[in-house]
Amino acid sequence: MFKFSLHPGKTNIDFLRYRIAALVFTALLTVATIGLVVGKGLNFGIDFTGGVLVEVETSGPADLGAMREALGDGSFGDVSLQNFGADNAVLIRLGQDAGEGDAQGRMVEALRQTLSEKVDPNIQIQRAEFVGPKVGQELIEGAVIAFVVAIAAMMIYVWFRFEWQFGVGAVAALFHDVIMTIGMYAVTGYEFNLTSVAAVLTIIGYSLNDTVVIFDRVRENLRKYRDMTILELLNRALNDTLSRTIMTGFTTLIALFALYFVAGSALAGFTFAMIAGVFIGTYSTIFIAVPILVYLNLQKRQRGRVGTDGNGDGEAEAEVKA
């Protein structure tokens, strides 16, 4: 009977053979990405920059050039336009503070009248959002705090569940995931907004889950295989969980690709970051979190029942050979 499988079965891949090259490559890429983000910057959305976001609908396919020319006289500040899903839906972002109360309504009405007179008399305003510069700054601070708290909480969790060496490896991998994902926004130019923050935090959780599964197998092997070197033991843990890693990533990508192609531009930045994050998180688990354990003197005595098959006959101590 034919059986479909994405995994060849039991493997014996020497992942840690490339640990030095992987760590050096990761360090260089991380530094380059930080430089890119600092130098080029991110395309911050209205959530962070403040301003006005207006969604309009034209009677036919939108002429972005004509709309840009109509709004480019400076009365609306910096203006950016992009199609939003359908070819007659346009998202307009104004870099000008609309003020409060009636002033916001007057700005939106002035925008509608300008486009109605110069582009399309049947143009309609679908929605309008206003964010002041003070609120935008508070949201940036909140996003940074969210990242720091999330990584710190996960480090504490891993530290208490395993040992401090595992916590260091997990945090190194999570730091890499955050930097690389933000770097993808800098490279692609996708708008970085609150939805993007949610994407990065979700990627952190996905990556940590993958890391914890492998760390569990490492801890089990520390107790079970007393005569293995640390390299052999870590490689075995990675190979034992490889099938689960591949299948989890594959099924996640199916949903994300469907969302990317069906949801349209509204969620394009979010789903693109999530798709990249699956690959980034898998890489960091295999080539960052686990290899770091080799250099952190992971030789602490493990107390517990030897093995998991019920053959352990008492408390035992084991020390893995370096």
| pLDDT of 279 above 90 | yes
Give the pLDDT mean for 261-282. Answer: 85
Report phi then psi at 3, rounded to 5: -125, 125
The answer to whether the beta carbons of residues 133 and 97 sit under 8 Å apart is yes
The alpha carbons of the chain give a radius of gyration, in whole angstroms, of: 26
The answer to whether the beta carbons of residues 304 and 216 sit under 8 Å apart is no
Query: Could you give the C-alpha distances from 253 to 250, 284, 322, in angstroms and in order?
Result: 5, 17, 38
* Average model confidence (pLDDT) across the chain: 79
Give the pLDDT mean for 176-200. Answer: 88
The topology (CATH level 3) of 51-131 is Alpha-Beta Plaits (3.30.70)
**Comparison of pLDDT for 74 and 129, the residue scoring more:** 129
Predicted pLDDT of residue 278: 93
The topology (CATH level 3) of 15-43+136-318 is Multidrug efflux transporter AcrB transmembrane fold (1.20.1640)
**Comparison of pLDDT for 130 and 2, the residue scoring more:** 130
280 Cβ neighbours under 8 A, 6+ residues apart: 176, 177, 180, 181, 203, 207
Predicted pLDDT of residue 182: 92
Closest by CA to 300, choosing from 245, 237, 223, is 223
Residue spans of the domains in the chain: they are 15-43+136-318, 51-131
| pLDDT of 30 above 90 | yes
- The model's pLDDT over 64-119, given as tens digits with 9 standing for 90+, comes to 888 888 877 767 766 777 777 677 888 887 766 555 556 667 778 888 888 888 88
